[in-house]
Amino acid sequence: MTGLFERLGASTLNSITTLGRAVLFLLRVIAGCGEWVRRPGLLMRELYSVGVLTLVIIVVSGLFVGMVLSLQGYYTLVDFGAEQSLGVLVALSLTRELGPVVTALLFAGRAGSALTAEIGLMKATEQLAGMEMMAVDPERRVIAPRLTAAFISLPLLAVIFTLLGIIGAYIVGTALLGVDSGAFWSQMQAQVSFGDDVLNGVIKSLLFGLVAGWIAVFNGYDCMPTSHGVSRATTRTVVVTSLAVLALDFVLTALMFD
Partner 1 sequence: MEGRSVENSRRVDLAVGAFVAAGLAALFVLAMQVSNITAFQRAEGYTVVGYFQNVGGLRERAPVRLGGVQIGRVSDIELDQSRFEARVAMTIAQDYNDLPSDTAASIRTSGLLGEQYISLEPGGMPDALSEGDELMLTQSALVLEDIIGQFLYNQGAGGSE
Residues of this chain that bind partner 1 (CB under 8 A): 41, 44-45, 47-48, 51-52, 55, 80-82, 91, 95, 152-153, 155-157, 159-160, 162-163, 166, 185, 188-190, 192-194, 197-198, 202
* C-alpha radius of gyration, the chain, whole number: 21
Nearer to partner 1, 160 or 177 (CB): 160
* Distance in Å, CB of 55 to partner 1, minimum: 6
Q: How far is the CB of 187 from partner 1 (least distance, A)?
A: 10
Residue 110 one-letter amino acid: R
| Cβ closest to partner 1, residue 120 vs residue 201 | 201
| Closest CB to partner 1 among residues 3, 81 | 81
Q: How far is the CB of 188 from partner 1 (least distance, A)?
A: 6
Nearer to partner 1, 22 or 57 (CB): 57
Query: Least distance (Å) from partner 1 to the CB of residue 185?
Result: 7
Say if residues 238 and 116 touch (Cβ distance below 8 Å): no
**Shortest CA distance to 114 belongs to which of 193, 53, 185?**
53
Q: Which is nearer to partner 1, 57 or 160 (CB)?
A: 160
Q: Give dist(CA 200, CA 118) in Å, integer.
A: 32
Say which DSSP state 1 is in.
Answer: -
Q: How far is the CB of 99 from partner 1 (least distance, A)?
A: 9
CB of 50 to partner 1, least distance (A): 10
- Measured distance CA(71)–CA(160) in Å, rounded: 21
Distance (Å, whole) CA 54 – CA 150: 11
Cα 222 to Cα 243: distance, rounded to the nearest angstrom = 19
Is the separation of the CB atoms in 145 and 115 below 8 Å? no
In whole angstroms, give the CA distance from residue 204 to residue 104.
10
Q: Which residue lies nearer to partner 1 by CB, 197 or 222?
A: 197
The answer to whether 241 touches 217, Cβ cutoff 8 Å, is no
Query: Least separation, in Å, of the C-beta of 194 and partner 1?
Result: 4
Give the angle 200-243-257 at the CA atoms, nearest 5°.
25
The gap from C-alpha 108 to its chain's centroid, in whole angstroms, comes to: 6
